[in-house]
Amino acid sequence: MNNSQQKILAHVQRNILLSDKEATEFLSILSEVKLRKKQQLIQPDQEVSSEYYVVKGCLKAYYVDINGDSHIIQFAIEDWWISDFEAFFIDKPARLFVEAIEDSVLLALNKSSLETLYKRIPKFERFFRIKTTNAFVSLRKRILSSLQKNSKERYIEFCRDYPTMEKRIPNYQIANYLGIKPETLSRIRKELA
């Protein structure tokens, strides 16, 4: 068993317990994907047949609107999952880009394999229910934060919640994620320093 496989097994077994056989079956449907910095994993209009577990590296999911402006919806680092989830779950063409911010190693989990897995080992319904629940709660927090806080407070919160990301991701991309301009973030950082 290689390193990536050990990592995702540990990740899954924080929420459900697997027999050796089940673990093996789960690992058998995963495939490793490597990306260099700036390489794209998903592009608009593509079919999104997988979601991806991040073994190593850092990625972003972003939407490019009709004016050509980008909007970063999610970052993902080690132990996070990333995809165009809407496209993946609802079976429609991608609307997002997913792109590596650093050289990255991922494990791809294919949708039809996942459906089969649900049938064979229903525990995985539980695992992904719990994962999705946590993600849902995080998004609620983010919405509340955007309703309640100004730019400076949101930046401080981001640094507190994701200290690792704050160190690895360029400021202009953090600004974009927070919905502010790089100039504004620069001024906020100056104030805080």
Partner DNA sequence: CGCGACGTTGATTTGCCTCAACGATTGTGG
Partner DNA sequence: CCACAATCGTTGAGGCAAATCAACGTCGCG
Q: What secondary structure, in 3-state letters, does 167-190 show?
A: HHCCHHHHHHHHCCCHHHHHHHHH
Residues paired with 31 in a beta bridge: 108
Least distance from C-beta 174 to a second copy, angstroms?
13
Asked whether position 156 contacts a second copy by CB under 8 A, the answer is no
Name which of 80, 38, 75 is nearest 166 in CA terms: 75
Q: What is the DSSP letter of 14?
A: T
Asked whether position 180 contacts DNA by CB under 7 A, the answer is yes
Question: Of these, 19, 152, 165, 168, which contacts DNA (CB under 7 A)?
Answer: 152
Q: Which does 129 bind (CB under 5 to 8 A by kind): DNA, a second copy, none?
A: a second copy
Asked whether position 185 contacts DNA by CB under 7 A, the answer is yes
Asked whether position 181 contacts a second copy by CB under 8 A, the answer is no
179: left (phi over 0), alpha (psi -120 to 50) or beta: left
Asked whether position 150 contacts a second copy by CB under 8 A, the answer is no
Answer for the pair 50, 115: CB distance below 8 angstroms, yes or no: no
Task: Show the binding pattern over residues 88-127: x = contacts a second copy (CB under 8 A), - = does not.
Answer: -xx---------------------------x---x--xx-
Q: Is 61 helix (H, G, I), strand (E, B) or coil?
A: strand
Positions in the binding site for a second copy (CB under 8 A):
63, 65, 69, 71, 73, 85-86, 89-90, 118, 122, 125-126, 128-129, 132-137, 139-144, 146-148, 179
